[in-house]
């Protein structure tokens, strides 16, 4: 009975998160050629370097609180407002500390370029209010507000595509404009989370509000709430920082270790190869929000295999067609990114079982173990990057990604096998039933679309 009731919840979450996640890379594919043509290779690398510290700050200054709110509010939605208040206050304080640290490290981050230094500082300052939006998104995930999260992605994509498009047509698309569009957009889109400030019974959609009344505490103590979310958040914080550093390390280190030209090539390669990973991350977020409440092992492993199967199909299509469109789309100077892109697509497939196994660790109350895995992966990443990039440039960065994801997948799957109590192969060994399920779910989704024949 319980399993039947929970299945639509995960299906709805995965469909909304996956469908809306396509908007982000689709927007990236639309705007990346505009940025490549307007900024050239050097300018594209400068933009990436300008926003990289701000991206790292999104992980460092939240202290793992978005994930903590997801886990906590999935079980106790009645504590939403006090939890948000404390988490936002702590996050803003830490954001200001990170802003100061960025200012002190400005000379290194900008490689001595004062113009780039000012752009880095501007992007980092504008990220402080975006940190609060990040906290609200974590709360919305715990409250199963999938519609609001999807709408936020729609707004972000629409503003970025429209903004970059108008600036390009008007001949005003420079590095400064790119920084402003990238950093201000999430702040504007965060307005979708205002219902979280209302009482829980009003903020949650009717289909999602029918939970166990015991989950709603009658008298939640504010300090108890803070202690609970900080305790969980502190365990995921190192993992969150490590995860963000893994995503941003190339942008932070490529320029001093290689060149902005290699960074520009790697940025384009990442834009394409991130397509399957962005979808996997969307499914990961939905699975974490739902499984934190259900702790369903078959739900975890089945979703992991299905995600890997879908990603394999996507990578196959992208890889086979890549040589025909990367030059015309991004500019022929970026054809040199073809092989690194293919390498990063392989790396993405290796990463997916690790991502979903790591979700199992957090959803089953072992976020510290997941953080340990991310820490080990970060060590492998930085070590490989420093050794390979100075000699092999963008190819060294691609090999670094493959090495890191092998480490990540191995650690997470082995750890999840112990915590969840299932064979490790259940996270990645695709079965015939998974193919049938993928086909059935695909037909079900198409049937719900206007083009699916429904009147």
The pLDDT value given to residue 300: 87
Least confident of 363-367, 371-375, 446-450: 446-450
* Of residues 226 and 6, more confidently modeled: 226
Least confident of 74-83, 178-187, 240-249: 240-249
The pLDDT value given to residue 4: 35
Q: Is the pLDDT of residue 181 over 80?
A: yes
Task: Name the range with the highest mean pLDDT among 143-152, 197-206, 398-407.
Answer: 398-407
The pLDDT value given to residue 43: 77
Task: Name the range with the highest mean pLDDT among 110-119, 147-156, 213-222.
Answer: 147-156
Q: What is the mean pLDDT of residues 174-192?
A: 89
d(CA 3, CA 75): 17
The pLDDT value given to residue 212: 38
The three state secondary structure string of the chain is CHHHHHHHHHHHHHHHHHHHHCHHHHHHHHHHHHHHHHHHHHHHHHHHHHHHHHHHHHHHCCCCHHHHHHHHHHHCHHHHHHHHHHHHHHHHHHHHHHHHHHHHCHHHHCCCCHHHHHHHHHHHHHHHHHHHHHHHHHHHHHCCCHHHHHHHHHHHHHHHHHHHHHHHHCCCCCHHHHHHHHHHHHHHHHHHHHHHHCCHHHHCCHHHHCCCHHHCCCCCCHHHHHHHHHHHHHHHHHHHHHHHHHHHHHHHHHHHHCCHHHHHHHHHHHHHHHHHHHHHHHHHHHHHHHHHHHCCHHHHHHHHHHHHHHHHHHHHHHHHHHHHHHHHHHCHHHHHHHHHHHHHHHHHHHHHHHHHHHHHHHHCCCHHHHHHHHHHHHHHHHHHHHHHHHHHCHHHHHHHHHHHHHHHHHHHHHHHHHHHCCCHHHHCCCCHHHHHHHHHHHHHHHHHCHHHCCC
* Of residues 397 and 437, more confidently modeled: 397
Nearest to 417, CA basis, from 354, 344, 351, 350: 354
Q: Is the pLDDT of residue 257 over 80?
A: yes
Least confident of 160-169, 264-273, 437-446: 437-446
- Model confidence pLDDT, tens digit, residues 429-438: 888 888 888 7
Query: Does the pTM exceed 0.75?
Result: no
The chain-wide mean pLDDT, for the chain, equals 81
* Of residues 407 and 243, more confidently modeled: 407
The pLDDT value given to residue 356: 92
Q: What is the mean pLDDT of residues 386-401?
A: 92
Both tokens of 97, joined, read 């500390």
Q: What is the mean pLDDT of residues 355-365?
A: 88
The pLDDT value given to residue 19: 72
pLDDT range class, residue 341, cuts 50, 70, 90:
very high
Percent of the chain with pLDDT strictly greater than 90: 22
The pLDDT value given to residue 426: 92
Q: What is the mean pLDDT of residues 137-154?
A: 88
Least confident of 172-176, 220-224, 228-232: 220-224
The pLDDT value given to residue 353: 93
357 CB-side CA count, 13 A: 31
- Model confidence pLDDT, tens digit, residues 13-28: 777 777 777 677 677 7
Least confident of 30-44, 111-125, 151-165, 185-199: 30-44
What angle, 0 to 180 degrees and rounded to 10, lies between the N-to-C axes of helices 297-330 and 432-448? 70
Least confident of 293-302, 311-320, 368-377, 378-387: 293-302
Q: Is the pLDDT of residue 95 over 80?
A: yes
pLDDT range class, residue 252, cuts 50, 70, 90:
confident
Nearest to 248, CA basis, from 423, 54, 379, 453: 54
Length of the chain: 455
Least confident of 208-212, 226-230, 250-254, 330-334: 208-212
Q: What is the mean pLDDT of residues 250-267?
A: 80
d(CA 133, CA 395): 36
- Model confidence pLDDT, tens digit, residues 56-76: 777 667 767 888 888 888 777
């Amino acid at each position: 009975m319980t399993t039947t009731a929970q299945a639509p919840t995960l299906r709805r979450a995965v469909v909304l998160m996956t469908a809306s996640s396509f908007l982000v890379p689709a927007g990236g594919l639309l705007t990346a050629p505009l940025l490549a043509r307007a900024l050239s290779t050097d300018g594209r690398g400068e933009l990436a370097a300008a926003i990289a510290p701000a991206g790292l700050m999104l992980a460092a200054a939240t202290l793992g609180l978005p994930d903590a709110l997801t886990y906590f509010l999935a079980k106790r939605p009645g504590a939403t407002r006090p939890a948000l208040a404390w988490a936002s206050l702590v996050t803003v304080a830490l954001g200001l500390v990170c802003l100061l640290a960025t200012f002190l490290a400005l000379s290194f981050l900008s490689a001595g370029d004062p113009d780039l230094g000012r752009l880095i500082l501007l992007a980092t300052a504008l990220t402080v209010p975006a940190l609060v939006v990040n906290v609200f998104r974590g709360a919305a995930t715990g409250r199963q507000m999938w519609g609001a999260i999807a709408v936020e992605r729609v707004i972000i994509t629409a503003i970025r595509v429209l903004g970059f498009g108008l600036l390009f047509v008007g001949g005003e698309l420079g590095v400064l404009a790119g920084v402003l569009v990238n950093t201000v957009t999430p702040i504007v889109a965060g307005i979708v989370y205002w219902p979280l400030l209302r009482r829980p019974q009003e903020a949650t959609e009717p289909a999602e509000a029918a939970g166990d009344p015991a989950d709603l505490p009658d008298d939640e103590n504010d300090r108890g709430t803070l202690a609970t979310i900080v305790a969980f958040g502190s365990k995921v914080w190192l993992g969150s920082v490590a995860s963000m550093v893994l995503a941003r390390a190339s942008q932070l280190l490529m320029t001093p270790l290689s060149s902005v030209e290699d960074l520009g090539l790697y940025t384009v390669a990442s834009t394409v190869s991130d397509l399957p990973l962005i979808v996997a991350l969307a499914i990961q977020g939905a699975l974490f929000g739902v499984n934190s409440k259900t702790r369903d092992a078959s739900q975890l492993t089945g979703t992991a295999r299905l995600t890997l199967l879908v990603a394999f199909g996507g990578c196959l299509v992208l890889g086979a067609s890549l040589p025909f469109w990367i030059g015309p789309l991004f500019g022929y100077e970026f054809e040199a990114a073809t092989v690194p892109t293919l390498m990063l697509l392989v790396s993405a497939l290796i990463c997916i079982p690790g991502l979903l196994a790591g979700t199992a660790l957090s959803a089953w109350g072992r976020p510290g173990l997941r953080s340990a895995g991310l820490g080990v992966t970060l060590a492998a990443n930085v070590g490989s990057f420093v050794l390979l990039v100075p000699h092999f440039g963008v190819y060294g960065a691609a090999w670094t990604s493959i090495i890191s994801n092998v480490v990540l997948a191995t650690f997470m799957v082995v750890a999840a096998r112990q915590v969840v109590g299932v064979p490790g192969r259940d996270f990645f060994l695709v079965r015939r039933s998974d193919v049938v399920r993928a086909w059935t779910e695909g037909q079900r989704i198409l049937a719900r679309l206007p083009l699916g024949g429904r009147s």
